Amino acid sequence: MIEILSTGLPNTVQDLGRPGYLALGVSHGGAMDRQAMAIANLMLGNDLSAAGIEIALYPFRLKAHVDIALSITGADCPISVGGRRCPPWWATTIHAGEMLLLEAPRAGARSYIAFAGGLDLPPVMGSRATDVKGGFGGFAGRGLSRGDRLPLIAAECPLPPGGLGMVLEERQAARNGAASPIELRVLPAAEFDAFTPQAHAAFTGSEWSITSDANRMGYRLSGETLSLVSPLELLSHGIVPGTVQVPPSGQPIIQLADANTCGGYPKIATVIEADLWRLAQAPVGARLRFLPVSIETATESLRMARQRLDAFIAARNIGAGRLRPG
């Protein structure tokens, strides 16, 4: 069991989400940075969809009541386990009575903590992810509070004495280029042609800032006003994470993990799935630039991301075999 010592309501139990329920009005949900959540589990030999904790508000502190292997991925933040400093993207053992502390990130926005075996919470519609809007899943359907005690699924996870780390080149590149605008690849959406040529030019030719109106449902951006060729009335229609809608204000909104399943604002573009982790790690105030790509590029980028994950799985399985006591 683990006990939450300091936290904020934006910090929640998450896994990889509950696909297949959009038609029932239930969003996909799950980790905003699915890659970081999956790799946190992978480092411990868990199923990739095991439940862990998503941290969006710092500092975050928990206490272990049993010896347990855990991993921390996502944002680059100072990490202390039992008073020992750990690098980011690291798996180690925390002993009963010790505390884990995550401080404000140096780069990025969200951290992920996985535990060997995962959190032992009841699945709802096939997932342990917290749906705060619906008030279900996760821990009592809400954000974590001080004093919450979360049970663990018992599992063994042999680790090297000093721990186990992972380095992702694209994450390193993103960190090194933190002073530059974050580039997000996009595809044109259904109402792209309903916007003026000036709006098209502004959307891809200028920078956008993430406003303080930003959460797991979506990010509202600030920049040039995007105008329609003529007024347009639409019935509500399906939307997915990455959809860029433009309300009457002309300031775009990017829908994210907990987005509503449908909406009536015209859509100018969609951020490709392979780049959604970049949004998850973009803090309030970050600058964005949109880069148009082809459907072939979007598909190939997703295929390559899945190949990299498969390679990590294969490497971890080999490593686990070497670590297993003789």
Q: Which pLDDT tens digit goes with each residue over 190-205? A: 999 999 999 999 999 9
Q: Which pLDDT tens digit goes with each residue over 157-169? A: 888 888 888 888 7
Q: What is the DSSP string of 250-271?
A: S--EEE-TT--SEE-S-EEEEE
CA distances from 304 to 293, 299, 300, 301, 311 (A): 16, 9, 6, 5, 10
Per domain, the residue ranges of the chain are 2-171, 182-293
Would you say residue 258 has pLDDT above 90?
Answer: yes
Helical spans, DSSP H, in 138-245: 169-176, 197-205
Beta bridge partners of 222: 209
In the chain, % of residues over pLDDT 90:
77
Phi and psi torsions of 257, nearest 5°: -55, -45
Structure-block tokens of residue 37: 């959540």
Structure-block tokens of residue 116: 């060997």
Strand segments (E) across 215-309: 218-222, 237-238, 243-245, 253-255, 262-263, 267-271, 287-292
Banded pLDDT at 324 (limits 50, 70, 90): very low
- What pTM was estimated for this model as a whole? 0.93
CA distances from 309 to 43, 124, 217, 319 (A): 11, 26, 26, 15
What's the residue count for the chain?
A: 326
Banded pLDDT at 24 (limits 50, 70, 90): confident
Structure-block tokens of residue 124: 């709802």
Q: Residues with Cβ < 8 Å from 211, sequence gap 6 or more?
A: 219, 220, 221, 222, 284
CA distances from 25 to 20, 68, 132 (A): 10, 37, 14
- Which residue's structure tokens are 């944002």? 75
Helical spans, DSSP H, in 8-139: 34-42
pLDDT (average), residues 219-243: 92
Q: Which CATH superfamily groups domain 182-293? A: Cyclophilin-like (2.40.100.10)
Banded pLDDT at 215 (limits 50, 70, 90): very high
> What's residue 205's pLDDT?
96
- Which residue's structure tokens are 């509202």? 220
